[in-house]
Amino acid sequence: MKILKLLLYLSVGFTIVALANYYSFSNCGEKHMVKKEQLDTIRFILVPGAGKYYPNGSRQNYAFLGRVDSSASLWQQYPHMKLILSGYEDDNWYREAHDLLEALVDKGVPDSVCILDPNSADTYETLMFFKNHYGKEPVVIVSQDIHLNRALWMADQLELNAYGYEAGGYPGGIPRWFVIKEIGSRLKARLEIWGWISHQRIVDPLS
């Protein structure tokens, strides 16, 4: 019985910590959304990768479609900007950065304004790629609200001069499974910032 009570207390405690952590990211994200008057002076749009298709390959990923549509629209309004296209590629299923590039070119964005970062496995590596190449240059991160909050919190912790631009996405609202996944992703993000999860990847040259 004592073991069951201990497990119950641990479960409740972990849930409280995870939820408190989740909402702390949301508060930070809301404070860093870009204002229209700032866009004339920002030179970079950062588009984090998302798989083009859902894992079963049966239909396109709404997150991917939303980031493409929103970043293309933003660039068309502010063509002085360059787009940094990030993501994971494994020569098999994932080719996130190149899929972003192809989709944006299809929407009229010239490839000459696109910079590829094809080896960032997660949001932390995406942000570190930008930091190592561009330092504190102002940047607009384009993503869906739930992911954007995490990206902006991490950017703030890494002392980046980052702003958020919310992408379109899920027509029926954010799926419940994604919210559950995001709770775990935000715990992972905090551990990455604290240095408890290490990343060994060498920063790639610009391409």
Q: Domain 2-194, CATH 3.40.50 — does that match?
A: yes
Say what the pLDDT of residue 179 is. 87
Say what the pLDDT of residue 93 is. 74
End-to-end CA, the chain? 60
CA pair distance 199, 128, nearest whole angstrom: 10
Averages of pLDDT over runs of 10 residues in the chain (207 residues) are 67 73 85 94 96 72 95 98 94 87 97 95 95 96 96 96 93 83 93 87 66
Q: Give the length of the chain.
A: 207
The three-class DSSP label of residue 84 is: strand
Say what the pLDDT of residue 154 is. 97
The two structure tokens encoding residue 109: 């964005």
CA distances from 21 to 37, 99, 108, 125, 175 (A): 31, 32, 40, 21, 20
Say what the pLDDT of residue 174 is. 80
Beta carbons of 22 and 182 less than 8 angstroms apart: yes
